[in-house]
Amino acid sequence: MKTLLLMCLEFFKTGLFAVGGGLATIPFLKDLSARYGWYSMKELTTMIAVSESTPGPMGINMATYVGNHMFGVPGGIAATLSLVAPSVIVIIIVAHMLDKFKDSAVVKGVFSGLRPAVVGFILAAVVDIYISSLFNTGRFLSTGSLLKLFNWTAIVLFAVLLIVFKKFPKIHPIFIIVAAAAAGIVLKL
């Protein structure tokens, strides 16, 4: 079922529950890929790479891309607004009630409980991206060859960029991002 309303509902839910920023949206986006097939896992990792290397919040960039990919410009606008709407609603409610409840033990407890959950979401997303970028589980399962399990080009690129970043810690991250993007284009990763 490829309806604009369904996509808006899914992005609204993502915006409502992806507490912690753009990386926290990745598990939701992975689920959307599996449930609806709107994009492949390869397209998801590409979206993440592009979103991380372009200005703007990652979750919004990804919602805009998916909406545009599925339904054109109106879809991009609708998906973006659907993702942002829960935050706007919550901010309005919190701003209205902040003075009343800012010292509440319950509110402090809720935020204390959310912190480790957000870290868990982000860690799960990082592990998923790491595995899908550096390992070819599909090729390994189809061929049975251990050598085909590894994406050797991506592993070498990762190691080189890690060494450069560690050897030159004061290098601006934009140079690493540009170098990785160029290598990805040249090597067709």
Residue 126: strand, helix, or coil: helix
Give the CA dihedral 132, 22, 9, 66, nearest 10 degrees.
-60
What pLDDT, on the 0 to 100 scale, is given for residue 1? 47
How many residues are present in the chain?
Answer: 189
Q: How many degrees, rounded to 5, is the angle at CA 76 between CA 74 and CA 79?
A: 105
pLDDT above 60 (res 8): yes
The segment with the largest mean pLDDT, out of 22-36, 63-77, 171-185, is 63-77
Which residue, 84, 68, 69, 70, is CA-closest to 11?
Answer: 84
2: confidence class by pLDDT, cuts 50, 70, 90: low
pLDDT above 80 (res 21): no
Distance spanning both ends of the chain, measured CA to CA = 31
Alpha-carbon span 50 to 31, nearest angstrom:
20
What are the tens digits of pLDDT across the range 51-101? 777 777 878 888 888 899 889 999 999 999 999 999 899 888 878 877 777
Tokens of 142: 């189809």
Identify whether the C-beta of residue 79 lies closer than 8 Å to the C-beta of residue 2: no
What are the tens digits of pLDDT across the range 144-174? 777 778 888 888 888 988 898 889 888 888 8
Using a pLDDT cut of 70, give the percent of the chain over it. 97
What pLDDT, on the 0 to 100 scale, is given for residue 189? 65
Segment 185-189 shows an average pLDDT of 78
pLDDT above 70 (res 25): yes
